[in-house]
Amino acid sequence: MKERMIIAAVLAVWNLIVFAAYGIDKRKAEKGRWRTPEKTLLAMAFFMGGAGALLGMRVFRHKTKHASFQILVPLFLVLNAALLAYLFRKGLI
């Protein structure tokens, strides 16, 4: 049980980081400054950051018109959830 709490905490912190990355990139876009590459934002979502990315897209209204983000971020969230469910069910975490 302790391991699950640690994993949950790590995932929560990671998703907060991803959420913040979307907000920071939005702010940089508004100011015409250097931006985070789209591949980086999508990779963050893929690697267990789907929830933070989707929330960041909604809250900051960022990348919502890009088809790749509209499709991939929700897909990554579903894949993240499915992987966690599988690992929990198998007792691996």
Contact partners, residue 79, CB within 8 Å, separation at least 6: 46, 50
Residues with Cβ within 8 Å of residue 7, at least 6 apart in sequence: 93
Contacts of 54 (CB under 8 A, 6+ apart): 45, 73, 74, 77
Q: For the whole prediction, is pTM greater than 0.75?
A: yes
Rounded to an integer, the average pLDDT of 27-31 is 96
% of the chain with per-residue pLDDT over 90: 92
Question: Letter for the amino acid at 62?
Answer: H
The predicted model gives 13-28 an average pLDDT of 98
